[in-house]
Structure 1
Amino acid sequence: MPPRKGSPKVKTGCRTCKARKVKCDETKPKCMRCTSSGRQCAGYEPTLEHGLSWYRPQQLTAHDQREGRAFQFFSHMVGPVLSGPMDTYFWTHLVVQFSHFEPAVRHAVLAISSLYEDFHDGARVTRQKPGNDFALSHYSAAIQRIKSAQDEQLVLLVCILFICIEYLQGDVEAAVRHCKHGIIILNRVGCSSWAHDYLMPIFRRLSFASFFLGIKPSADAAVPGLLGFEVPIPDKIESLGEAQSAIDDLMIHAIRFVSGEPTAFERQDLETRLGQFHEKLTEFDDSLPESESAAKVAICSMLMRFEMAKIQIDTIGGKTETRFDKHIKGFRSTIELARRASHLRKAYPDDRPHASFTFESGFLSPMSFVSNKCRDLKLRLEALDYMVELSAPKEGFTDVGTLYRIGRRSIEVEHGISLNDGTIEKDPVALAKFSFPPEENRMFAAPIDHELFPFVLLGKPATTGPKKQT
């Protein structure tokens, strides 16, 4: 992977500059970098800060050759890809660093490395293959170690590792329990500056993962909110970290919007903020050269989430599937972003290893959303293609195989076509005549069982004759 660009990581500076991941001039009481640009400086952390230190004298080592190999595999093959299109620093630096002196982190890393290797070797991604005693024993050891931990910042870090382990094992319910526990801790005790910068954003994204599949959060399944962590949209986006913080905050507000009974003012306010974000992120994107392909691919992913949020907000409360038809422009923009990400990856290949699993969501959920909710047949088929090309086989609790089959079956049922041979005439006129099926032919839900297969598509009672097959 190319070396990290920009200023080196700093451990000092005002809260605002650290949240933006930019160098602070550290002028007291308010830094000049903030005040000169019209931002509100949030001040500085206390000099003596409680929480995990960056240096520990105890150095843990591998107990045997297998552990040593697992550590090496994590460092070279697993850590660099777990973040998906986002910044890799948490997995490649923080987690590796803490694994050297915190036994709970060490055991969890060994479990993740071993479980990931099962997928890397071609095991089925929807169900972990049995018999991985090495991974299970280290997971159990990590649980025992963290039970006696007094530092809640360490508990938060290990909680993320446990969520990763449960994703790899296919136990979504256990992963959600760990996520809720971590967010409760964040809301209760807050976090130190490094935890605020690197742990809190991960929990925020975990809390709205299902939103990008077009699923409205239910009251009994909702993850507790992250209170007091709102990040205002900056006057100018100057880094990927700043852009990610802004889109994460907007997604939290979007979920609150679709989960409640919003007023017209709340809708207008959220739509205005989304528009401001899009304008500022586009300006930042335009300032980057094409060779900054990793950053531009990450921006494509963020802009997809922007398009999806707009559609979700505008269609909330509707009862018919045809309400999505007026958002063809948004669906088309999402596919254009996928096309651009594909071009960037081919023109400027990333030297990171190919990902078999990513902890963070990437392109899978946006492409699944388009394949299920867009009824323009050409765009739906493109979404299926990009789902396979751009996504890791498994992203978080979702996997390509399952979501591809759901999208493909939705297309076949709704449009009355067969994709069994894997091909269909790509002539726009031919595709257009099958687009936008009537409401009674459309699917309105796709529940997935715990093992993610088989899936069931729920449709409205058919009132038309036999569907065409091509």
Structure 2
Amino acid sequence: MTRPRPLDTSKRKVKTGCRTCKARRVKCDEGRPECHRCVSTGRSCEGYGIWGGGRCTAKAITPRAHTDTVQYALSSLFGELSPEQESCFQWFRYRTYTKLPLPFVTPFWSTLILQACTAEPAILHAALALGSAHQKETTEEGRPREECVVLDSQQKFMLQEYGEAIRSLQSHLLSHDKRSIHVALAACVIFTFFENLLGRYVAANAHLHSGLRLIAEVYGPPEPLDGETAIQISRGSVDDWIIETFSRLHVQAALWGQGLPKLYIGSPGLPNTPIPTSFESTNQAARHMDRLILDVLDLVEQYYLSDGGATPCTVYDERQQYLLNQLNLWLMAYNATNKEVDERFSIVDEFYLKLLGAYQTMAVIILKTCTSSACEVMYDLHTADFYTLLEQLVGIWKAHIARPAWRFHPPTADMPRKISHSVGDKGWIPLLYFLAVKCRVRRIRLQAIKLLSQTAHKEGIWDSRLALIVAKEIVRIEEDNDYEDMDREDRFSIISIPAEHEIAPPSVPEYRRLYNIHVGLPAHPQGVLTLEYKQRQANVYGVTRQIRCYDLQLRRWADVVDSPV
């Protein structure tokens, strides 16, 4: 890899100090993690470069207008960018990194990645590839997806930048020093976002899993994984930002059945501190909820694996009760957080806190029904919780999704208003999917599907189109003869709350219900989506394992493959 030439600062009077003081061309006292000059004047100290520490305050991570500092540094470090690269970086800078990281923005994007673009060719090229993919999705959103035989110029550009990023990364993959680990992990995050955006979910998962294993090896417990030699490094702000981002990606993948169960618990990026009495920020609430979700999913996995095993059930029962108490503590902190009057919470924060409240409801349902993975009728005992979840989701739709209340930048000739609705973190798609698949009260699951059908975007690994295809097929199989009548029953308003007389007891018999469902995501946008599940046989003691395949190009389900279990 050709080493970038050093930044020429011979004409600059300020050669040392934090990035903020350099940009202002004033003397910096070089205090750590923030310099006193910035703190005393109320400014946000942007630290001493991506690898040199510094801390980003709450003010610093708010999306804001940028100077030409980043563009100047890029040109000085790597030579003049081509017009196409410069245009693409502008899109990434003003659109991609302010939109894709949502709902829960962390300094990983707002501080780390922009600084890394000026210091590491691998990160710059990865950012250009992601920005190009995001721009293409924006311009093509709403159009039917067709098989692409010949690549257009933009696709060639993004793949070229992607290849350059991988080539620039090779030297770092051979080294175990702290800087190389940071670069490799940061690039891995961008690659995961890039592949998810393109609908290449197998490759996205491969990047995510590689990063998770490296984090477990480097930052996890002293015991190495799978007999490998552990690499332990000290942690700073940069490490925390990277690990937190991977933890967020892992949670959304785990909810889709695409995570790494061995790494559900003990994640170094999630808090192990007690839940506070109230939350100081949306990110604090999200970090504690992510930890609880992974703990719940791990317990589900343990119950499944221990069916008839040696571990006493009391061990899992005690852990189940502990997690229920933790979820209740989280809810108490959530209710004690005065989101409406606290100036720390914006309208966008209120929206995402409501989402987290819905995740708490879903986590409680999963936890209460995890004792038997093969007994789907247990969900019928929690109709009240499903009803609460639907109320929460309808409230989110009415208050925010139908009328989005935020804009990051005014439109310009180069940067128009239109932008993709896709985001990189989990939103409400997993909640709607869960409601449609696990609640057998027809009126509730119908409304979940109706809301999902009005959601035309991606949330990281969650694609609303794929979630809708799977959910409707599961409902079709379970409802059987009654499925044809469902369209006639779909006459209610999308924002209506079911009346008491509409909440009829679930009529789906036990033998028709699907369980142990696993979804196989496609390798590319025109690939094959698989649905694997188990189902009891009517009037017969036995279970069949079935696999259905959906061809995204032909838009139809393939033949069923049956095998007795």
TM-score range, shorter chain: 0.7 to 0.9
Tell me the equivalent position of 1:240. 282
Q: Distance in 1 between matches of 2:48 and 2:521?
A: 49
Instruction: Indicate yes or no: 2:368 matched with 1:314.
Output: yes
CA contact (8 A) 1:364 1:400 kept: yes
Worse overlay, 251-260 or 289-298: 289-298
Q: Distance in 1 between matches of 2:327 and 2:438?
A: 21
Tell me the equivalent position of 1:160. 189
Q: Distance in 2 between matches of 1:217 and 1:57?
A: 37
**1:198 alignment partner, one of 241, 254, 258:** 241
CA contact (8 A) 1:362 1:395 kept: yes
Tell me the equivalent position of 1:448. 520
Give ranges in structure 1 of 5+ residues lacking alignment.
Answer: 1-9, 14-22, 24-46, 465-470
Tell me the equivalent position of 1:330. 385
**Aligned pairs, how many?**
420
Tell me the equivalent position of 1:381. 446
Instruction: Please give the per-residue CA displacement for 1:190-224, whole angstroms capped at 9, x wherever unaligned.
Output: 564322442111111222324434x49676x8679
Deviation at 1:454, TM superposition (A): 4.6
Following superposition of structure 1 onto structure 2, how do residues 63-212 of structure 1 map, counting pairs within 5 Å?
63-87=81-105, 89-122=107-140, 129=148, 131=151, 132-149=155-172, 150=177, 151=179, 152-187=181-216, 188=218, 189-190=232-233, 192-212=235-255
Letter in 2 for 1:268: Q
SS at match of 1:417: helix
**1:411 alignment partner, one of 469, 475, 480:** 475
CA contact (8 A) 1:294 1:350 kept: yes
Q: 1:147 to 1:304 in 2, by over 3 A?
A: same
CA contact (8 A) 1:332 1:379 kept: yes
CA contact (8 A) 1:127 1:170 kept: no
Letter in 2 for 1:350: W
**2:431 alignment partner, one of 358, 366, 376:** 366
Deviation at 1:448, TM superposition (A): 3.4
SS at match of 1:335: helix
Q: 1:265 to 1:454 in 2, by over 3 A?
A: closer
Worse overlay, 318-327 or 94-103: 94-103
Tell me the equivalent position of 2:555. none
Q: Distance in 2 between matches of 1:200 and 1:414?
A: 40
Deviation at 1:112, TM superposition (A): 0.6
CA contact (8 A) 1:56 1:101 kept: no
Letter in 2 for 1:184: R
Q: 1:57 to 1:122 in 2, by over 3 A?
A: closer
Q: Distance in 1 between matches of 2:160 and 2:404?
A: 41
Q: Distance in 2 between matches of 1:294 and 1:67?
A: 31
Deviation at 1:67, TM superposition (A): 0.9
Q: Distance in 2 between matches of 1:460 and 1:301?
A: 35
Deviation at 1:48, TM superposition (A): 11
Following superposition of structure 1 onto structure 2, how do residues 231-270 of structure 1 map, counting pairs within 5 Å?
231-232=272-273, 233-261=275-303, 262-270=315-323
Q: Distance in 2 between matches of 1:204 and 1:331?
A: 27
Deviation at 1:87, TM superposition (A): 2.2
Worse overlay, 373-382 or 116-125: 116-125
Q: Distance in 2 between matches of 1:126 and 1:331?
A: 34
- Relative contact order higher in (CA < 8 Å, ≥ 6 apart): 1
Q: 1:449 to 1:340 in 2, by over 3 A?
A: closer
Deviation at 1:316, TM superposition (A): 1.6
CA contact (8 A) 2:130 2:158 kept: yes
Instruction: Please give the per-residue CA displacement for 1:292-342, whole angstroms capped at 9, x wherever unaligned.
Output: 321111112212221222122222242122111112222222222212222
Instruction: Please give the per-residue CA displacement for 1:36-76, whole angstroms capped at 9, x wherever unaligned.
Output: xxxxxxxxxxx999944569999213521111111122223
Instruction: Indicate yes or no: 2:477 matched with 1:424.
Output: no
CA contact (8 A) 1:160 1:179 kept: yes
CA contact (8 A) 2:106 2:241 kept: no
Deviation at 1:393, TM superposition (A): 1.4
Tell me the equivalent position of 2:267. 226
**2:463 alignment partner, one of 358, 375, 399:** 399
Worse overlay, 58-67 or 315-324: 58-67
SS at match of 2:158: helix
Instruction: Please give the per-residue CA displacement for 1:375-404, whole angstroms capped at 9, x wherever unaligned.
Output: 112221221233244x56122222111111
Q: Distance in 1 between matches of 2:50 and 2:249?
A: 26
Letter in 2 for 1:370: L
SS at match of 1:235: coil
Deviation at 1:119, TM superposition (A): 1.9
Q: 1:12 to 1:127 in 2, by over 3 A?
A: farther
Task: Name which one, 1 or 2, has greater alpha-carbon Rg.
Answer: 2
Deviation at 1:354, TM superposition (A): 4.5
- Aligned-residue sequence identity (percent) comes to 20
Give ranges in structure 2 of 5+ residues lacking alignment.
Answer: 1-30, 40-46, 55-68, 219-231, 304-314, 409-417, 493-497, 541-565
**2:74 alignment partner, one of 47, 57, 60:** 60
Tell me the equivalent position of 1:34. none
Tell me the equivalent position of 1:272. 325
CA contact (8 A) 1:60 1:100 kept: yes
Deviation at 1:128, TM superposition (A): 8.6
Tell me the equivalent position of 2:545. none
Instruction: Please give the per-residue CA displacement for 1:61-96, whole angstroms capped at 9, x wherever unaligned.
Output: 352111111112222322222123222653344322
CA contact (8 A) 1:71 1:110 kept: yes
Q: Distance in 2 between matches of 1:314 and 1:443?
A: 18
Worse overlay, 183-192 or 426-435: 426-435
Q: Distance in 2 between matches of 1:193 and 1:243?
A: 21
**1:293 alignment partner, one of 340, 347, 371:** 347
Q: 1:310 to 1:357 in 2, by over 3 A?
A: same
Q: 1:248 to 1:128 in 2, by over 3 A?
A: farther
Coordinate RMSD, CA, aligned:
3.7
Letter in 2 for 1:105: I
CA contact (8 A) 2:327 2:360 kept: yes
Letter in 1 for 2:490: I
